[in-house]
Structure 1
Amino acid sequence: MSGNTLAGADREQRVSLRADPDLVDDFDDWADEHHGSRSAGLRALMRRATGDDRTWSTPRQPPTEELLSDAYRRLVDVARATGSQSGYIRESTARRVCAGGKAGLSKDDARDRLLRPLVERGYLRRVGNVHGDTSYQILGWDDAE
């Protein structure tokens, strides 16, 4: 079974397979140690098998549009710098990080012109918590779909 998680040229495909449970357990141990997760380990092996020399350091290939790509990379950098284990960034932080930049956007414009398109294209997921705060989760970060 496979499904697309991103639209257009930035599309990714879901891959599933059946395997012996002992093999899966052994692979998970290896993948956790070397790549941090099963998905990251499988992606690394697929890149190695196909000779794909990945040139980006983000969970997913950045968008092709310069402003969206810059915003996405900045969000990933902030999540890493803050030690996020699951790629979550508060909305206020995401708006501040994306504001300014090459286009000199306000925080409101950053939400409308950068964060919303990144959500629509499958790079981010907008989530709320019990306190009514909004955050964004970077998809592809340690198995976040």
Structure 2
Amino acid sequence: MKKCIAYYNEVLSRHQEVDGPCVVHMDFRPGNILVLNESKISGLIDFESAHGGPSEIDFTKIKQYEWDVYPETKEEFILGYKSIRTLPNLETFLPFYSFYHAFSGVAWCKKRGIEKNKEFLAENIQTLINIVG
């Protein structure tokens, strides 16, 4: 916990202003994107975790569950995003939000039941270890 707090304070102090505030989905991943056909998104589902915050945070899960697994999808996604709005500086923000997502994931598991969410808990703890050591 001490390492997480130290990392949070150090990285947060280096961040420039973020894009926001706005409503962020917080679970932006392929399973929650409704596709009408191969080239048109028709909507998003599962707003259970949505709240106000910076738009950059919504890139966290798409990176973790899509780009890290299927790197060839990143360029097309970025092109689509840039056709709608300015792309934030992902290199600056993604490491911090990956930490934030993992830390929040541990809290989510505690709230929803550690035993039934063991795999997700382990994934998040490993991410925190990878980031803060």
Specify if TM > 0.5: no
Higher Rg: 1
Bigger fraction of residues in helix: 2
TM-score by length of 1: 0.26
TM-score by length of 2: 0.28
